[in-house]
Structure 1
């Protein structure tokens, strides 16, 4: 790994209704990531799966401090989590960034909810968020999104143009059919049009009788070394946000 590179990891796992089993998988993967020198680890959407409707901070801290049983924990964790919503019938589908001391650094609530789907309509039990989130981290300026957001380029443009995101984190649980057809293509499109690194952590396989996610890899961690100087180089050589009269130029000026 070059001196200017930072190591990040994306988890793929199959979460189930067995919370303890999910924890054991997460704990093993966190340890593997730490040993491998990963500084920021991204878990999938709903990594703990269907928790009771309760205070999500309680459960997250339960998970985090169980992770912290081994020393040292130098990771920053990025996870998709079901957060208690505005009423008893709704949750927030949240993306949480936690620093290496266990404190929540930032929280993004999924804006675009899956609907008109043969399996379920997310809006039946989830309340959408409204605010985009970009936060500083040891691996640069992070733009936080979740799964179905990936289909909406207009969400990603402000992350880059107005908030100077360098890395986009996307915890996902794509369905098997749409994942096979669209997941990698959408990730590459968002990376190309924003000139950002994209790190996506995915659910994989069948985790109950009704739901199945696109299964590209087995449970494990994809690890990559990123160099933020590459982003500056690409943006200098191909300054697509500075073309006179372009929508990008107008958006950046706003």
Structure 2
């Protein structure tokens, strides 16, 4: 497909997993009705600050599980490709035909799954960079490594829309990961996120635009955007950025969607005229 419409879903998820799923369902339907062929959910779309993530975690590929069953059904129902934000998984990715290992230390893998139009999983990326930082907000300290085990694999997958590179939230601050995706010829990169309001106001847009410009690709940032509880507030401003760094659509706060058309011939022409890929020295 030459010109395809894509969408990012913005949510204000809570600790109520069933309410979050209902909101995601409504917003996915809205994106599909707007003509989106690929839809991206935000990080932690199903549950945000609901206690230990392991209580909601599933085994990869368990379509009887609440989360993966829902996501698979949504992709099939709307005939879309779905980048499912992140969900907690109890298993590490299986490799070379070896069964996936089960995590046993109480932590989970924060995984971004990609579902095809038939509801099958075609890719999995586990968040590589964990957010262990201090921020000048009410929560003050974030320690993802207490609950999550980091991934270690760069993931690119061909979809019906574009060659897709996968990242998650804090990964946005690590340009070397995006360069690896560029080296793998990614045309579109997804960034499901839950950026804090403080760090988002300072860095979210400039980082999304920089990653798009320097890697000559489209970038979709699907964020959480609002007040989740007395301590947690996220920045929102979900947006779609083109390879020239232009913001094609943005939603500041609250639930909703952003939608844009991607133009792969224009992307390839830009890469031809300004061949950054072949000019690399390092």
Per the TM superposition, whether the score is higher than 0.5 is yes
Q: Unpaired runs of 5+ in structure 2?
A: 92-102, 135-139, 237-251
Task: Give the 3-state SS of the residue equivalent to 2:157 in structure 1.
Answer: strand
C-alpha deviations, 1:94-145, integer Å up to 9, x for none?
1110111111111000000011223321111110000000000011110000
CA apart distance, 1:23: 1.4
Cα distance change, pair 89–141 in 1 and its aligned pair in 2 (3 A): same
Alpha carbons 1:119, 1:210 under 8 Å: kept: no
- Tell me which residue corresponds to 2:70: 63
> Structure 1 length as normaliser, TM-score?
0.89
Aligned match for 1:209, one of 227, 230, 238? 230
Write the distance in 1 (CA, Å) between the matches of 2:229 and 2:211: 30
- Are the counterparts in 1 of residues 179 and 215 from structure 2 also a CA contact under 8 Å? yes
Q: Is the 8 A contact 1:108 1:145 kept in 2?
A: yes
1:120 pairs, out of 142, 147, 155, with 142
How far apart are 1:214 and its partner, in Å? Answer: 0.8
Q: State the 1:72 CA deviation.
A: 4.7
Aligned match of 1:198: 219
Out of 30, 36, 39, which is 2:37 matched to? 39
Does the aligned pair in 2 maintain the 1:168–1:196 contact within 8 Å?
A: yes
| 1:12-58 CA-partner distances (Å, limit 9, x unpaired) | 11011111211111111121112111100000001101452432541
User: Is residue 208 of structure 2 the alignment partner of residue 187 of structure 1?
Assistant: yes
Instruction: Report what 1:246 is aligned to.
Output: 281
Query: What is the distance in 2 between the residues matched to 1:104 and 1:242?
Result: 33
Find the counterpart in structure 2 of residue 165 from structure 1.
Answer: 186
Match for residue 82 of structure 1 among 88, 109, 113: 88
**Larger deviation, residues 55-64 vs 73-82:** 55-64
Q: How many residue pairs align between the two structures?
A: 241
Deviation for aligned residue 1:238: 0.7
CA distance in 1, matches of 2:21, 2:56: 18
Contact 1:53 1:84 in 2 (8 A): no
Which 4+ residue blocks in structure 1 deviate beyond 6 angstroms?
A: none
Question: Cα RMSD over matched residues?
Answer: 1.8
Query: What secondary structure is seen at the aligned counterpart in 2 of 1:150?
Result: helix
Q: CA deviation at 1:65?
A: 5.3
Equivalent residue, structure 1, for 2:155: 133
| TM-score, normalised via structure 2 length | 0.81
Larger deviation: 32-41 or 76-85? Answer: 76-85
Secondary structure of 1:120's match? strand
Q: Which residue of 1 aligns with 2:245?
A: none
Q: 1:205 to 1:119 in 2, by over 3 A?
A: farther
